[in-house]
Every structure is written in structure tokens, then in C-alpha cells.
Amino acid sequence: MTDYMILFPADREDDWDLATVAERQEVYATDEEFVRLLGERGGRVTGGAELASASRAHVLRRSAGGGAVVTDGPFAESVEQLSGFYLVSTDDEAGLLEAAQVLVRSHPAVEVRPVVGSEDDS
């Protein structure tokens, strides 16, 4: 089996903070549908999490002297912030991409990336 990361870059984290309970439940229902569809195609979710706001992030960068500099807050070099992820295993990348299409109903963007070296050679 090959492992894949499914990443949820969010354009505006405050959309989630302002969402009603019903709106959040719609997102959870969409995620549950993805898990079901993936399972029907022989895959499975092996991990994942909703991430805290980027305002709680710490960014470590290499300094000119080779040490580390730590900054706080959403200082990623992108306008997008990562709101969550799934780690999945499947032998069917096309089936994974097909199942993942439902996720764009509730997530502004979905990135699917293979994990390097995760192919099962047995």
C-alpha cells in the first residue's frame, strides 16, 4: 500500500471560527463521506487531525549563523494556512482522487501527495 497525505490549505481560518454548529457538521459529514468512499475503494484513513489556528503556530527558520530563529503566529510564506490533514493508505491512487473530490464541497482546496518511500514492496 502507498501512503498519501491529504492536506487542507484554508484561505481564511476565521471562516471556521465564525461557522455555526450546523455548518461545521456539514464539513464533518463531508469528511465522513470521504472516509466511506475511500473504504469502498480499498483504502483507509490511518491518521489525521484538525489543526489549531495558525496564530498559535511557531515557525523555526535557520539563521544566518546556522542556529534557529523562532517566530510566533501565521508567518508562513503563503497566504494560505494549513487547517488539517489526513494520512491514508491505498493501492488505488485514482480511486483516492475520485473519493477526495467530495472534500472540495467543504474545503476550499484539497492537496493529495504521496508519502516518499511508503510503497509496500512485499
Per-residue pLDDT reduced to its tens digit, 69-96: 888 766 555 555 788 999 999 999 999 9
Boundaries of every domain in the chain: 2-114
CA distance 104 to 39: 18
Per-residue pLDDT reduced to its tens digit, 94-111: 999 999 999 999 888 899
Distance of CA 85 to the CA centre of its chain: 2
95 Rama sector, left if φ>0, alpha if ψ -120 to 50, beta otherwise: alpha
CA distance 122 to 107: 35
What is the mean predicted confidence (pLDDT) over 14-23? 88
Residue 13 has pLDDT above 80, yes or no: no
Domain 2-114 CATH assignment equals 3.30.70.1060: yes
Tally the residues of the chain: 122
Residue 11 has pLDDT above 70, yes or no: no
Q: Which residue has the cell 494560505?
A: 80
CA distance 95 to 80: 27
pLDDT at position 121: 45
Binning pLDDT at 50, 70 and 90, where does residue 122 land?
very low
